[in-house]
Amino acid sequence: MCGHALKVLWAPWRMSYIVKGSLEECIFCKAVKGGDDENYVVVRSKHSIAMLNIFPYNTAHVMIAPVRHVARVEQLTHEEVLDLFEVLSRIIKAIDQEYDPQGYNIGVNVGRVAGAGIESHIHVHVVPRWLGDTNFMPVIAGTKVMPEDLRNTYTRLRNRILSQDTAR
């Protein structure tokens, strides 16, 4: 950080997540069994679940996981793969309509050395990108600015997806 002291950005809304449970509990399995609002679930399908990342890289950062607890892509059935990509398509359409990003980073991290924070349950990250979303703040100040409250993002995306469902 160029010899500068790291700045602190207070994020007290994250404490409830920290004290709720450890990473020993699979967040995707918990979301499959639990309620949508408390787990930030924006889509449920027969074989997949899509939820907001509560530690997002950008606004509307969504993670899509199979309902079944598997660690690797090749362990998924054909139906699960198809369903996961159909949910991915729905998520992209909803984010496009609600946030109008200029691009996406979409990826799967398999294994800890590849960056997987949760190795035991495969999931796809969908990160919307805008020109200028990476600016001087992380580099100079060591701080990432999130322009929208997570609860507002959840409400906006969930409502957009529900309106798509009724339009089908």
* Helix or strand run (H / E) with residue 124: strand 124-129
Q: Is 69 a catalytic site residue?
A: no
Query: Per the residue annotation, which of 47, 61, 121, 123 is the catalytic one?
Result: 123
Whose structure tokens read 């907001």?
52
Q: Given CA atoms 14, 19, 22, 28 in this order, what sign does their dihedral have?
A: negative
SS (H, E, C) 17-55: HHHHCCCCCCHHHHHHHCCHHHHCEEEECCCEEEEECCC
- 136, 2 contact by CB (below 8 A): no
Q: DSSP secondary-structure letter at 141?
A: I
| Helix 78-99 vs helix 150-167: crossing angle, to nearest 10 | 110
Catalytic annotation, residues: 123
